[in-house]
Structure formats: structure tokens, C-alpha cells
Structure 1
Amino acid sequence: MELRTVNVTRYVTPLREGGSLPAIAEADDDFLYVLKFRGAGQGVKALIAELIGGELARAMGLKVPELVFANLDEAFGRTEPDEEIQDLLKASVGLNLALHYLSGAITFDPAVTTINDTLASQIVWLDCLLTNVDRTPRNTNMLMWHSELWLIDHGAALYFHHSWDNWKEQAVRPFVQVKDHVLLMSATELDAVDAKFKAIINEKLIRDIAALIPDEWLDEDAATAAGRREVYIQFLLLRLASSENFINEAKNARETRF
């Protein structure tokens, strides 16, 4: 398992609806990407969550735009007239993360598009596993592209890593924020999805995905980087082993709301 690495050749336009000010950029493979910057508010932790969440979703058979590492040269910050963007570019020199740009995609709107119960249950289950707080009616972080549903933006997931102190306790907690999930009403097949995905997501897969995280995103010290990578692995393994906690929470929230 590996991700391609591209070099950013042109900054096209900022996506100001994103809190971390992502941008559309062109790379040396002539494709457009949505570029997530290491110098943005949540820093490399958002990139790590994006990488783990996106690749887990892909392994589960869900549609996610291709993720690539994107090298940003220091020259990019010199000619940008917008000071805020200039500062962001200067702070993001080096390795960033980008998603293939789905040209012509539109934001998923539950009032317009109906998602079947199986797919809804799969997405709710994934977001409970990842503790992804950012898939709400206000901000669905899903796109419709060529009549198919695509998942984007997992940067708000795995919020335990903003405070490493009690990650084991957080790993087995229910996910109470599931009550706000945009697809909760249709998530009627969580038990079946749990059985299916537990057969797919094993320790080897989790380790292979965690191995993709660049050491420099974890810590400059190699030993610390290895230790933090292992925490991500163990967090996901613990969460997987105690999935009944977040499944029951989701079921209860669904009964309460609907």
C-alpha cells in the first residue's frame, strides 16, 4: 500500500468554505487536487486523520477521491498577494496531503438525494469508528459525482490525538455525536455492517495504513514518531474490538430522534 507523490505546480483558487482554507491546485501530473495544508489551523493532525479516514473508507469499498502526498515548494508564498494565503503557503512548505478534484461534483443534499439503508449504515459505522464529528446536515462532507456518493474531508476525525493523555479510555467510549449525523435516520443495518467490516478491517490493514503516515507528520524524533504511529494503531484496534459501544449509541440516538 502506498500513495503517489506529486509536486504542486500552480495554486488555482482557495476554497473559502473550508475552515482550514484548503485550495484547488494543479500538480506536475496535470491533474487538479484539493490541497490540504500542513500549515492550517489543525496542522498535520488533520492530514493524519484525513489519510487514515480516507484509506479506511476506501478499504471498506466506499468511494473516496484518490489521496496523494503533495510537495509544496517555498517559492509559492512569494508571489501570492493575499497575506493570509501567503502565510499559509509559507507555513506549508514540504509534504502536504491532497485529494483528486472531482470536477462538476455537487454537495450531497439529503432533501434531494436518497441514500439506501446499507450505504447509510456503512458511512455511519465508519464515522463512529473514526469519531468523525463532521458529517452533519450543516456540513455533510459528501459529494454526488456521476450519480455516485463520494466521501470527502475526514480531517475532524480521530480527535483523541489533540490530547494524547487518555486515548485508551477514548477508544472504548460511545460516540455521542452520532446523534447529529446526517445519515442516522437511514442507518438501519448497523449490526450487519459491523459483521461485514470487522471481517475486512484487521490489524494488518490498520498497520499498512498507519505506515503511510510520514514520520515528519508524527514527530521529528524517529522514536517518538514510531510510538505515536503505534497509538493510532492500538486506538483503532481497541475501537474495533468494542464496536458494540458505538453501535448501541447510534441505535439509541436513532430511536430517540426518529
Structure 2
Amino acid sequence: MIFDNQFEQLIESSNRPFSGWDFSYVNGTGRIVSEPLSWSYGSKALGLIKNSSSMLDMGTGGGEFLSMLRPFPPIIYATEAYKPNVPIAKNRLESLGVKVFEIEDDHQLPFDNSFFDLIINKHEAYSNQEVRRIITDNGLFLTQQVGGLDCHDINDALGLPYNEEFIDWNLAKAASDLEDNGFKILESREEFPIQRFFDIGALVYYLKAIPWQAPEFNVEKEKQKLYEIHQLIQDKGYFDVKQHRFYLKAKAM
């Protein structure tokens, strides 16, 4: 099938390299926007950091977010499991006094028992037992997570299966698991904000950056379905999908 030039050009725009955890190419240009949550993870983290003496940022990505939360406590570490991000994070953070560790197993972190009084985690996997091991009694754990129902509208529109590995991940399960491992939940909330795509190139760029959303996604194989979404955007102006987000603040007991 022959597709129009605009569609092909937008698909081509998705080939721009993705680095660290920086979506400014599509978010900063307004090609993707998200409905605000009723909480701010950044504001919550910043408030806790000010009262911390030793903290860990789990899954720091390229260190983009953490670098904006200064001033840091006297002891600060970060972990990252995605190998391409590790040198980016080290380059950005270590000059700021943050020691960055590459990790391979959430159940084996390179820290002593009861080492941190604050652990923050944005959109990163974690082991409840290991977080409890390395946090002090009365230490605080703050996490914002992507729920298992996130952006299923994309999969539906492309006719692709959901990622079954995460489908049952939600606030109730996360809270129960933390409580079973020695934490008391202090705050929590779960919401389903809208994410809006204004062009098909932004959608393809997004899917390439987070391949776990649709592990079977292939641009050439899905081109007809992508063109149908492109036509929808041309008619309506945008393509909306429902996100899944929740956060918890918990105290180690």
C-alpha cells in the first residue's frame, strides 16, 4: 500500500536516537502531553530529601530527574539497571557527589543493611525484601509506579497483545506487598490520566523508547494500523490513551 508523504515523514522522524530517560524530543515540543496527576512525585521527593541524611535513587535513568532535586543529603547513591544509561548517569551525577551503581538484580543491591533513611523510586522495579533490608527503621520509601493497565489503548489500536508480565501490577498489590515486608503505608493514590499524541511519529518514537509496552511492535508489520491511527489524528487532531499511575509513601517499621 502507498502511504502519503506526511505519514512517511512523521514515521521517519521517530528514528531520532533516544538517550537516558529524556523524552524532551516529543514532550518538550508538545507532540505528546499528559493530563496532570493530582500529586507531584517531584514535590514529594524534594520535601523528603531536605530531611534526609542518606538517600538512594533507584532507577535513576540518565540522572536527569535526580540532578534537579538538589541540594542533596551528605550521603547519596543512585542505581541503574539499563546499561546504556549507566555512563550517562555517571557523567551527569558523579560530579554532583552522587555515586552511581550499575545493578543486574533487584534482589541483590550493593549496600549494607539499614544504610539509607530515604529511598526514592520513580517507575523502577524493586524487591520489597531488599528495600526493607537496606533502609533504616523508620526510614521512608517513596515510589511512583506505572500500573499494569498503562496505555492498553495503544495495544488495542495496533492489534497487539498486552505485556502479561505487568498486567496485575496496581496500587492494592504494591501496598499489600510492602505491608507484608515490614512497611506501614503513610500515603497512596492511584489514577488513570489521559496521554495525548498529536502525531504518529511521536507515538512510534514513544513505542521504540519503551519496548515493553508492546514487545511485538514492528513498524513495518504494523504500518497499516499506524496509518489508521494517523488518519484518526488527521480527522480528530489527536489520539488519546489512558495511562495508569500510582504512588506510595511507606515507613519501615
Same fold (TM over 0.5): no
TM-score (norm 1): 0.29
- Indicate the structure (1 or 2) with the bigger Cα radius of gyration: 2
Q: Which has the higher contact order (CA 8 A, sep 6+)?
A: 2
From the two aligned structures, give the one with the greater strand fraction.
2
From the two aligned structures, give the one with the greater helix fraction.
1
TM-score (norm 2): 0.29
